[in-house]
């Protein structure tokens, strides 16, 4: 256990050091969520006047939840990019040779994904508050919201790590990114589920991200709903992709 | 009008904004139909000189004429008269060999049936007919270089610039390229300006060699004359008993000056007389009771010429120079 | 003159062939805009119930966006290859031929405009397959293709400028998020007069991309709105002129040949 944690500490230190000292990594991670938040809230706020759009705390809070979850998922995916880059450069081989317990490597990347997202989430939250976002939920509700985001961050990182460890090339980036992108955007991004019509309603209804999104919006408006389902899905995704990632690590070990 | 296939440069200089002078006053003349070897380590200024002579870079100072045209004032005319295969093969991995030739011929204004004929002729000449319709990313290094040469020849240039054409090639591909270059010069009268860091290439191909170091020509002449001017043979002896190394050295030093750069445990002296007597050397060693495991005579090489002029060996010195420049360019890291 | 045309055509042909032989560069600019269109038109259909919304089909409203987005994606990809030509020395190979510098640029731009037009036809067909009918009719379709050519020229010229100025594939790729920001901070998802946030409406009004989108949109949902078309052509034309001047200057500095 001590070895595993030591390896994890080393790996995460390196990734975070690169992240915080390299503007090419740090700035896009911060800029994109802020940009989406600004564009959606600024450009689409009129949507809240559509008959049937009943969200008590306003469109800013409505979109904030989506951007928070999106940033969590993509912070996880970007960690996968880093893993793929390390494979291509040969650095992963060095890590695997040095680490007494290789699970520590995966743990290290996961920890760095979490810290990356926490950084982004802090900035996005501050900006949303400055934009006078209304919060209807209490402290427990907000903990629930950020926990959901954390689960999504973990799931995203484990998914991307599993892909990166199997394919071991940066050309796998679209494979890591696209499914996450599709899952996020085939959810009720702009309006609640009840206002979607046609095929998109059908897809969003079965999309596992939808309950997380709706529950998150429930937390921020102080009217929690689907919380149990959302946490079950969140944990399920994290667990399932955890198995996926560990098996990916084993396949990378076997490949040498 | 008689075509001028010569190259001339007077005081050619190229300075870059934040660096030393890459070329620092080059004077040279290449006669029509000659193969001129421009030999030097990495970073010596060979490619920069080629870029100036092929009009890709304007000189900072000095003048040059290629095929009788001034490289600065008559750039387009120079480009019509020359072909160039530069250091990077610079091919498009998504195009086939034939498509490259099609593009190159069109750029030179060769169209229609003439374009097709010329492409087929060149593909046959460089042995790429079978691979002509394959994409470049499937080509080996040797195939790429051959295509590069074919592209340089589409418009029948009078002067050909080859910038390290065989770097990275296997022996077979290199030899094939040498044969073709030699044929171009001897049978078609093409003037060839060839840069290389390989001694053997300059020795085998070049009628005359210019040795460049740190942007200036340090020696120029035929390979034979340069070698004979600079040095005589070197004798290298390896004692059977390493403890006798000093004894071997003291005997050999009677015949010349000790030199380095040979095998570990060996003693090498450059003979003071060009016609050093090997028999006398063997007798002297025998008289002193020295037993050798190996005795070799090394004829002078262009590397010896470079060593005499610069104090460094040519092969490997470019890598050392590059590493030194890289260290100076980067800040120290803790 | 003939030779210059042949050279331009050969270089343009190469730009098209290179793109066609890289599946990712073909599929992504076709599929990604359609994906976003599907997501946005499904997710924002309810916006058509807002008073003053110009159409009851958000698909028809949003169909304009792929034309701008697709032109952007295709020209960025192709200009990354142009930057690679500089990195690998292929541009030097071309510079050693008698080809004039301006022909090098025109060939590259011509190829990119061809790619954009092919994509535009694809978007029109997809839109038609999903029930969108151009209010401006068949004539409008041709006008749309003409507009697409000018839009693509603007993006292509700016991308070529980046490629020639930097010689770096990463720098050209880095343009994509910049252009993306301009696209999102426009009237792509909501008519300008219905944008509620004053600051966003102001940004969308000064953003030239809004006029590109609105010009294409007018052909789809309104018919012949000459004002919108004039503004769209003016914006695309201005981008093209500025981009062309910048890239011609950058080419002159990059080539350095005598």
Largest CA-CA distance found in chain C, in angstroms, rounded:
63
Interface contact flag, C35 A45, Cβ < 8 Å? no
Tell whether the model's pLDDT for residue A179 goes beyond 70. yes
Answer whether B touches A (≥3 Cβ pairs < 8 Å).
no
End-to-end CA separation in angstroms for chain C:
22
| Least confident range of A158-167, A197-206, B99-108, B308-317 | B308-317
Per-residue pLDDT averaged across A48-77, rounded? 94
Quick one: closest CA in C to A196, which residue?
C43
Co-location of B210 and B73 in the same domain: yes
Neighbours of A50 (CB within 10 A): 18
Interface contact flag, C98 B76, Cβ < 8 Å? yes
Co-location of B212 and B237 in the same domain: no
The answer to whether B265 contacts chain C (CB < 8 Å) is no
Per-residue pLDDT averaged across C64-72, rounded? 94
The answer to whether A44 contacts chain C (CB < 8 Å) is yes
Tokens representing residue B9 in the block = 């440069």
Quick one: closest CA in C to A187, which residue?
C43
Co-location of B150 and B276 in the same domain: no
Give the separation between CA B273 and CA B276, rounded to whole angstroms. Answer: 5
Interface contact flag, A43 C200, Cβ < 8 Å? yes
Q: Which helix (H) or strand (E) holds A115?
A: helix A103-130
- Looking at CA atoms only, how far is residue C196 from chain A in angstroms? 5
Spatial neighbors of A236 by CB under 8 A, at least 6 apart, are none
Q: How far is CA C171 from CA C11, C146, C175, C252, in A?
A: 23, 29, 7, 19
Neighbours of B31 (CB within 10 A): 13
Co-location of B110 and B215 in the same domain: yes
3-state secondary structure of B31: coil
Answer whether A touches C (≥3 Cβ pairs < 8 Å).
yes
Whether B41 is in a domain gets the answer yes
Interface contact flag, C184 A39, Cβ < 8 Å? yes
Neighbours of C201 (CB within 10 A): 17
Q: Tell me what pLDDT residue B331 has.
A: 34
Residues of A in contact with C36 (CB under 8 A): 185
Co-location of B105 and B213 in the same domain: yes
Nearest to C196 among A46, A186, A199 (CB): A46
Q: Tell me what pLDDT residue A49 has.
A: 93
Nearest to B88 among C7, C21, C88 (CB): C88
Spatial neighbors of B310 by CB under 8 A, at least 6 apart, are B213, B218, B317
The pLDDT tens digits for B57-67 are: 999 999 999 99
Tell whether the model's pLDDT for residue C136 goes beyond 50. yes
Which sign, positive or negative, has the C-alpha torsion B248, B249, B252, B258?
positive
Most A CBs within 10 A among C31, C34, C39, hence the mutation to make, goes to C39
Q: Tell me what pLDDT residue B275 has.
A: 57
Nearest to C89 among B76, B86, B107 (CB): B86
Contact B170, B142 (CB under 8 A): yes
Interface contact flag, C194 A186, Cβ < 8 Å? no
Which chains have 3 or more CB–CB distances shorter than 8 Å to chain B? C
| Least confident range of A203-212, B214-223, B277-286, B323-332 | B323-332
pTM of the entire predicted model: 0.82
Quick one: closest CA in C to A33, which residue?
C181
Q: How confident is residue C115, by pLDDT bands cut at 50, 70 and 90?
A: very high
Residues of C in contact with A190 (CB under 8 A): 40, 43-44, 47
Mean of pLDDT over chain B: 87
Which residues constitute the domain of residue B264? 232-299
Per-residue pLDDT averaged across C187-193, rounded? 95
Residues of C in contact with A60 (CB under 8 A): none
The pLDDT tens digits for B165-183 are: 998 888 888 898 899 999 9
* Residue pointed to by tokens 């071997």: B248
Contact B9, B48 (CB under 8 A): no
Nearest to C14 among B54, B82, B103 (CB): B103
B333 exposed, middle or buried (CB, 10 Å; 0-12, 13-18, 19+)?
Answer: exposed
Tokens representing residue B35 in the block = 């193969």
CATH code, B57: 3.40.50.300
Tokens representing residue A224 in the block = 């929690």
Whether B307 is in a domain gets the answer no
Query: Model ipTM?
Result: 0.86
- Looking at CA atoms only, how far is residue A69 from chain C in angstroms? 18
Contact C172, C87 (CB under 8 A): no
Interface contact flag, C14 B71, Cβ < 8 Å? no
Residue bearing the bigger pLDDT, C195 or C175: C195
Interface contact flag, A43 C195, Cβ < 8 Å? yes
Co-location of B157 and B214 in the same domain: yes
Q: Where are the alpha helices (DSSP H) in chain C?
A: 2-20, 23-43, 58-62, 64-88, 90-95, 101-129, 137-166, 169-173, 175-184, 198-206, 208-217, 226-255
Whether B309 is in a domain gets the answer no
Q: How far is CA B257 from CA B231, B272, B285, B300, in A?
A: 11, 7, 16, 14
Per-residue pLDDT averaged across C173-187, rounded? 88
Co-location of B137 and B242 in the same domain: no
Tell whether the model's pLDDT for residue B1 goes beyond 50. no
Co-location of B143 and B260 in the same domain: no
Q: What angle do CA A31, A32, A38 make, to 5 degrees?
A: 90
Co-location of B245 and B187 in the same domain: no
Give the separation between CA A75 and CA A112, rounded to whole angstroms. Answer: 9
Of C69, C177, C190, nearest to C122 by C-alpha is C69
| Least confident range of A99-108, A232-241, C202-211 | A99-108
In which order are the strands placed within the sheet that holds B35-39? B82-85, B159-163, B191-196, B35-39, B208-213, B216-221
Of C185, C221, C224, C217, nearest to C204 by C-alpha is C185
Q: Where are the domains of chain C?
A: 2-255
Per-residue pLDDT averaged across A31-47, rounded? 92
Tell whether the model's pLDDT for residue C6 goes beyond 60. yes
The pLDDT tens digits for B115-138 are: 999 999 999 999 999 999 999 999
Which chains have 3 or more CB–CB distances shorter than 8 Å to chain A? C
C30: alpha, beta or left, given left = phi > 0 and alpha = psi -120 to 50? alpha
Point out the domain boundary residue: B194, B222, B250.
B222
What does the DSSP 8-state code read for residue B331? P
3-state secondary structure of C134: coil
Most C CBs within 10 A among B52, B71, B85, B94, hence the mutation to make, goes to B94
Whether B98 is in a domain gets the answer yes
Contact B301, B211 (CB under 8 A): no
Percent of chain A with pLDDT over 90: 71
- Looking at CA atoms only, how far is residue A182 from chain C in angstroms? 9
Nearest to A35 among C40, C184, C196 (CB): C184
Q: Tell me what pLDDT residue B261 has.
A: 67
Q: How confident is residue B51, by pLDDT bands cut at 50, 70 and 90?
A: very high
A47 exposed, middle or buried (CB, 10 Å; 0-12, 13-18, 19+)?
Answer: buried
Of A132, A121, A149, nearest to A45 by C-alpha is A132
The number of folded domains in chain A is 1
The pLDDT tens digits for C38-55 are: 999 999 999 999 999 999
DSSP β-bridge partners for residue B292: B239
DSSP β-bridge partners for residue B65: B8, B70
The pLDDT tens digits for A97-106 are: 888 778 889 9
Residues of C in contact with A41 (CB under 8 A): 197
**A 165-184 → C contacts, CB under 8 A:** 174, 182
Whether B182 is in a domain gets the answer yes
The pLDDT tens digits for A117-156 are: 999 999 999 999 999 999 999 999 999 999 999 999 999 9
Q: Tell me what pLDDT residue B3 has.
A: 61
Residues of B in contact with C97 (CB under 8 A): 79, 104, 107-108
Tokens representing residue A216 in the block = 């998150």
Per-residue pLDDT averaged across C98-122, rounded? 93
Q: How confident is residue B326, by pLDDT bands cut at 50, 70 and 90?
A: very low
Nearest to C185 among A31, A39, A195 (CB): A39
Mean of pLDDT over chain C: 93
Which residues constitute the domain of residue A238? 2-255
Quick one: closest CA in A to C48, which residue?
A50
Residues of B in contact with C98 (CB under 8 A): 76, 79-80, 107-109
Per-residue pLDDT averaged across C100-121, rounded? 93
Most A CBs within 10 A among C196, C198, C203, C213, hence the mutation to make, goes to C196
Contact B44, B318 (CB under 8 A): yes
* Residue pointed to by tokens 């094939």: B176
* Residue pointed to by tokens 């006008």: C143
Helix axes of C137-166 and C208-217: crossing angle, nearest 10 degrees: 150
Tell whether the model's pLDDT for residue B325 goes beyond 50. no
Most C CBs within 10 A among A23, A25, A38, A42, hence the mutation to make, goes to A42
Per-residue pLDDT averaged across C236-243, rounded? 96
Q: Provide φ and ψ at B73, rounded to 5°.
A: -85, -20
Neighbours of A201 (CB within 10 A): 16
Of B128, B120, B157, B124, nearest to B145 by C-alpha is B128
DSSP β-bridge partners for residue B195: B38, B163
The answer to whether A23 contacts chain C (CB < 8 Å) is no
Contact C96, B54 (CB under 8 A): yes
In which order are the strands placed within the sheet that holds B69-70? B21-30, B7-15, B61-66, B69-70
Residues of B in contact with C99 (CB under 8 A): 107
- Looking at CA atoms only, how far is residue B166 from chain C in angstroms? 17
Buried b / exposed e over B127-140, threshold 16 CB at 10 Å, is ebeebbeebbeebe
CATH code, B240: 3.30.70.260
Spatial neighbors of C163 by CB under 8 A, at least 6 apart, are C79, C80, C82, C83, C86, C171, C172
The number of folded domains in chain B is 2
The answer to whether A188 contacts chain C (CB < 8 Å) is yes
Tell whether the model's pLDDT for residue B91 goes beyond 80. yes
Tokens representing residue C51 in the block = 């008073």
């Amino acid at each position: 256990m001590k070895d595993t944690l030591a390896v994890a500490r080393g790996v995460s230190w390196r990734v975070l050091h690169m992240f915080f000292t390299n503007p090419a990594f740090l700035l896009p991670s911060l800029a994109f969520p802020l940009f989406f938040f600004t564009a959606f809230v600024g450009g689409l706020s009129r949507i809240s006047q559509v008959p049937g759009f009943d969200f008590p705390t306003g469109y800013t809070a409505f979109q904030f939840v989506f951007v928070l979850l999106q940033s969590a998922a993509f912070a996880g995916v970007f960690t996968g990019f880093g893993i793929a880059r390390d494979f291509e450069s040969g650095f992963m081989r060095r890590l695997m040779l040095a680490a007494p317990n290789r699970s520590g490597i995966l743990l290290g990347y996961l920890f760095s994904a979490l810290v990356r997202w926490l950084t982004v989430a802090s900035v996005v939250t501050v900006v949303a508050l400055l934009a006078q976002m209304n919060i209807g939920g209490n402290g427990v509700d907000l903990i629930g919201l950020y926990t959901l985001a954390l689960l999504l961050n973990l799931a995203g990182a484990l998914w991307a790590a599993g892909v990166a460890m199997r394919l071991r090339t940066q050309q796998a980036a679209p494979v890591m990114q696209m499914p996450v992108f599709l899952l996020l955007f085939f959810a009720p991004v702009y309006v609640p589920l009840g206002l979607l019509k046609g095929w998109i309603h059908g897809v969003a209804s079965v999309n596992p991200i939808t309950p997380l999104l709706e529950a998150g919006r429930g937390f921020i408006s102080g009217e929690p709903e689907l919380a149990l389902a959302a946490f079950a899905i969140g944990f399920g995704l994290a667990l399932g992709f955890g198995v996926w990632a560990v098996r990916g690590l084993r396949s990378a070990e076997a490949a040498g | 009008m008689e075509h001028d296939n010569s190259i001339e440069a007077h005081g050619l200089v190229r300075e870059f904004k934040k660096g030393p002078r890459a070329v620092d006053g080059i004077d040279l003349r290449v006669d029509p139909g000659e193969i001129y070897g421009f030999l030097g380590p990495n970073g010596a200024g060979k490619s920069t000189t080629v870029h100036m002579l092929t009009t890709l870079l304007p000189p900072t100072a000095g003048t040059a004429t290629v095929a009788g045209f001034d490289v600065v004032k008559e750039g387009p005319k120079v480009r019509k008269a020359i072909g160039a295969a530069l250091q990077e093969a610079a091919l498009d991995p998504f195009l086939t060999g034939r498509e490259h030739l099609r593009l190159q011929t069109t750029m030179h204004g060769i169209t229609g049936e003439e374009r097709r004929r010329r492409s087929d002729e060149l593909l046959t000449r460089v042995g790429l007919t079978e691979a002509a319709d394959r994409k470049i990313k499937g080509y080996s290094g040797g195939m790429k270089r051959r295509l590069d040469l074919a592209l340089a020849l589409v418009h029948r240039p009078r002067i050909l610039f080859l910038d390290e054409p065989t770097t990275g090639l296997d022996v077979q591909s290199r030899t094939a390229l040498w044969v073709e270059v030699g044929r171009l010069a001897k049978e078609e009268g093409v003037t060839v300006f060839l840069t290389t860091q390989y001694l053997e290439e300059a020795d085998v191909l070049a009628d005359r060699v210019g040795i460049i170091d740190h942007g200036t020509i340090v020696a120029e002449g035929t390979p034979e004359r340069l070698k004979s001017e600079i040095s005589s043979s070197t004798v290298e002896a390896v004692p059977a008993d390493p403890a006798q190394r000093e004894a071997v050295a003291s005997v050999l030093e009677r015949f010349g000056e000790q030199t380095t750069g040979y095998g570990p445990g060996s003693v090498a002296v450059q003979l003071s007389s060009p016609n050093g007597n090997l028999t006398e050397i063997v007798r002297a060693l025998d008289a002193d009771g020295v037993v050798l495991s190996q005795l070799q005579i090394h004829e002078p090489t262009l590397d010896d010429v470079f060593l005499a002029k610069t104090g460094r060996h040519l092969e490997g010195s470019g890598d050392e120079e590059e590493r030194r420049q890289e260290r100076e360019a980067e800040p120290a890291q803790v | 003159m003939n030779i210059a045309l042949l050279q331009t055509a050969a270089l343009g042909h190469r730009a098209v062939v290179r793109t066609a032989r890289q599946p990712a560069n073909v599929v992504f600019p076709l599929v990604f805009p359609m994906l976003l269109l599907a997501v946005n038109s499904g997710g924002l259909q309810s916006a058509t119930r807002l008073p003053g919304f110009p159409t009851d089909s958000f698909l028809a409203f949003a169909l304009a966006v792929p034309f701008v987005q697709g032109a952007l994606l295709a020209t960025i990809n192709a200009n990354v290859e142009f930057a690679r030509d500089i990195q690998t020395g292929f541009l030097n190979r071309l510079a050693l031929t008698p080809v004039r510098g301006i022909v090098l640029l025109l060939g590259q731009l011509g190829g990119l405009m061809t790619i954009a037009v092919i994509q535009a036809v694809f978007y029109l067909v997809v839109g038609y397959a999903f029930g969108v009918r151009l209010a401006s009719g068949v004539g409008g379709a041709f006008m749309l293709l003409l507009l697409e050519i000018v839009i693509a020229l603007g993006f292509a010229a700016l991308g070529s400028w980046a490629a020639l100025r930097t010689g770096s594939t990463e720098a050209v790729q880095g343009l994509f998020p910049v252009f993306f920001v301009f696209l999102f901070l426009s009237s792509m998802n909501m008519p300008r007069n219905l944008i509620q946030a004053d600051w966003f409406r102001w940004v969308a009004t000064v953003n030239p991309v809004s006029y590109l989108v609105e010009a294409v949109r007018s052909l789809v949902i309104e018919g012949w709105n000459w004002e919108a078309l004039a503004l769209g052509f003016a914006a695309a034309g201005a981008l093209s002129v500025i981009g062309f001047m910048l890239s011609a200057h950058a080419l002159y500095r990059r080539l350095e040949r005598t």
